[in-house]
Each structure stands twice: as C-alpha cells, then as structure tokens.
Amino acid sequence: MDLHLLLDNLTNPALLFFFLGIVAVRLKSDLEIPPNSSKFISLYLLFSIGFKGGQELSHSDLNMEILWSLLFGILLALTVPLYSFFILKKRVGVQNAGAIAAAYGSVSAVTFVTAISFLEIHNIEFNGHMVAVMALMEAPSIIIGVLLISLFDKENKSKTSFGSVLKHSVTNGSVLLIIGSLIIGFVASDAQAEGIEPFTTDIFKGFLAVFLLDMGIVSGKKLSSFMKNGWFSFLFAIIVPLINGSLVAMLSKLVTDNTGNQFLFAILAASASYIAVPAAMKLAAPKANPSLYIPMALAITFPLNITLGMPLYISIIMAF
C-alpha cells in the first residue's frame, strides 16, 4: 500500500471529523447533531450524488461496459450474502446470519459518497453509471437474506409476506431517493443542471464533513455495546470486507478499464448497509439482533473502509 496515499487519506478533513465524533463520545461530551439536521444532510448527500450521476450518465453512450457493470454489481449483491450466511449461520443463528448477510451483500451509500470524494481529491475520473450500479445493489441482497432465513429457520413463524419485504426494500427512502435523483439528473439539460450546481457541488464536501461527524458520534455510541457480542462478529466485520474489496479490486478489471470505476466496485463490495437493510429486517427478521448487525456495519466496517480500505483498494488496482 502507498503510505503517502494512506497518510493523505487519514488527514482528510471529512475523515478527521468522523474521528472527532468518536472522541466526543469517549470524552462523554454533549456534542451532537440534531436528528432532523442529520436526516436532512443524509438526504442531501444522496440527492446530490444521484443527480450528478444522472448528469454523467446522460453524457454517456449506452454500451456493453455499462451493461456488464450493472450485471456485475447485481452478481456481487447476490453472491456476497450467500457465502456470508453460511459462514455466520452456526455462530450467530439463522436470523442474525440472514440479517448480517443482507447487510454485507447490500451497500452503504455514505461509504460510496465518501469514496467519490476520495476520487475527486486525487483527480481520478469515474463514470456516472456507477451510481446506477450502487442503486441496483440495494435490493437483491435483502431478497437473498430473506430467502435464506425462510429456508433455514424452521422456527420462523413470521407472517410477513415476501412481497411486503420486497416492496419495502425497493421503496426504502434512501433507495428511492438515489434512483429518483439519478433519473432527474439524467433527463435534466446542462443549462437546467447548472442552475442548481452551487447546491449539488459547491457545498457537498462541507455537508459530508458534518455528516461524518454525526456518523462518528453514532459509531462511538454503538461500539461499546457491540463488543459484548464476542470476537467472531468483530473479526468478520474486518476480514470479510477487506477480502471482498481486494478481490473485486482485481476482478473488476474484467468489466471496466476505468480506475475510478474499479475502485467504486471494490468499495461497493466491501461496504455494508446500515440504513436500508435494518429497515427491511425489522419486518423480515424480527428476532435478529439489531445491536449486532448495525454496529458491525456502522461502527466497524464503515470506518475500516474509509480509513484503511480506500488506500488499499486503489493501491491494488494501480498494482494490477
């Protein structure tokens, strides 16, 4: 790994605000971001990246690379939860395994947004269709997780229908906003997009820094309770994402020659959902323990990816 790249990433102001949030929790500070403000900022980030991705996509010709990229993303979202479930099943139980597998097969929009900021800082180009890839990877892993729970949990007496879970995963606010913003960005003309550019572009990094501060506070609060669950889930939340990201950093070369796209594929494979999946699993796996799978994704895998993961994946891509 390029140590200069790692150091440069660790001194990124947005990332340092994330650490500040964790420090604030450890010091028992009353620092907090109001819930309504935090929700607005997360919606803004999804809106901004979706809209900009749609604009990029509107300037791209529909070609085989885009089609292969979409298929590759869906394949990842189907494959990762399958093998994750069987690694986890005996250790944490069927419902917990299904929820964790769905989280790690799905994607973290915030990690994706942070990764795009990383690419922009290092002047590495990527294509707008990667936003569409991210949007398509949310639902398949949730579906796989629900199917695995229904197949292997003999005691599951939940009356929740598969159709309602599917609908919930597709209409989840974060998924709907990113897809909707992508479509709006795609149909808007350059002149129309320029009118809101100060909102979608100029203030983006500032909002990202504040949001990561909030994520640091939330992560710091969840970390203590999570450590009571033992070392297996902790190691899984570190090792599996690094393996996924590193392998896809190499395999994505088969789909695209664009370094930025390869990097985003690696991040998508390594990230874990802590927004869409918990909302869906409330319906599909009520016995699954949220204090297990949410901190795994948010308090362990998320900071791992935005600190060590991003420099590692880009170094692998450059090496190959």
**Mean pLDDT estimate for the chain:** 86
Distance in angstroms (rounded) separating the CA atoms of residues 66 and 81: 24
Answer yes or no: is 29 within a domain: no
Answer yes or no: is 28 within a domain: no
Average the pLDDT over 158-172 and give the result: 65
Q: Which residue has the higher pLDDT, 190 or 11?
A: 190
Q: Which residue has the higher pLDDT, 2 or 266?
A: 266
Helix, strand, coil % in the chain, rounded to nearest 5? 80, 0, 20
Flag whether pLDDT at 186 surpasses 70.
Answer: yes
Flag whether pLDDT at 169 surpasses 70.
Answer: no
User: Dihedral sign, CA of 154, 158, 161, 165?
Assistant: negative
Q: How confident is the model at residue 259 (pLDDT cuts 50, 70, 90)?
A: very high
Distance in angstroms (rounded) separating the CA atoms of residues 246 and 240: 10
Flag whether pLDDT at 17 surpasses 70.
Answer: yes
What pLDDT is stored for residue 250 in this prediction? 96
What pLDDT is stored for residue 156 in this prediction? 60
Answer yes or no: is 17 within a domain: no
Give the residue from 122, 125, 75, 80 showing the smallest Cα distance to 101.
Answer: 80
Instruction: Quickly list DSSP for 171-218.
Output: H-HHHHHHHHHHHHHHHS-HHHHHHTHIIIIITHHHHHHHHHHHHHHH
Answer yes or no: is 1 within a domain: no
Average the pLDDT over 146-162 and give the result: 72
Q: Which residue has the higher pLDDT, 76 or 153?
A: 76
Q: Please tell me whether the overall predicted TM-score, pTM, comes out greater than 0.85 for this model.
A: no
Flag whether pLDDT at 313 surpasses 80.
Answer: yes
Q: What is the extent of the structural domain holding 169?
A: 34-319
Average the pLDDT over 114-141 and give the result: 88
Q: How confident is the model at residue 24 (pLDDT cuts 50, 70, 90)?
A: very high
Answer yes or no: is 301 within a domain: yes
Answer yes or no: is 126 within a domain: yes
Average the pLDDT over 141-166 and give the result: 74
Please count the structural domains in the chain.
1
Distance in angstroms (rounded) separating the CA atoms of residues 130 and 260: 10
Sequence-distant (≥ 6) Cβ neighbours of residue 121 within 8 angstroms: 8, 12
pLDDT per position as a tens digit, 200-242: 888 888 888 898 898 888 888 877 767 776 788 899 999 999 9
Answer yes or no: is 56 within a domain: yes
Question: Any idea what the CATH number is for the domain that residue 279 is in?
Answer: 1.20.1530.20
Give buried/exposed letters for 87-104 (b at 16+ CB in 10 A, else e).
Answer: ebbeebbbbbbbbbbbbb
pLDDT per position as a tens digit, 280-293: 777 777 788 877 88
**Cα three-residue angle 274-28-290, rounded to 5 degrees:** 25
Percentage of residues of the chain with pLDDT beyond 90: 35
Reduced to 3 states (helix: H, G, I; strand: E, B; else coil), residue 136 is helix
CB atoms near residue 319 (< 10 Å): 10
CB 131 within 8 A of CB 178: yes
User: Dihedral sign, CA of 134, 136, 138, 140?
Assistant: negative
Distance in angstroms (rounded) separating the CA atoms of residues 84 and 101: 5
Token pair of 50, please?
A: 């979706």
Flag whether pLDDT at 58 surpasses 60.
Answer: yes
**Cα three-residue angle 14-16-21, rounded to 5 degrees:** 100
Answer yes or no: is 168 within a domain: yes
Residue 48 half-sphere exposure, CB side, CA atoms within 13 Å?
25
Maximal C-alpha separation, the chain: 58
What pLDDT is stored for residue 148 in this prediction? 87
pLDDT per position as a tens digit, 65-95: 899 999 999 999 999 999 999 999 988 889 9
CA 309 to chain centre: 13
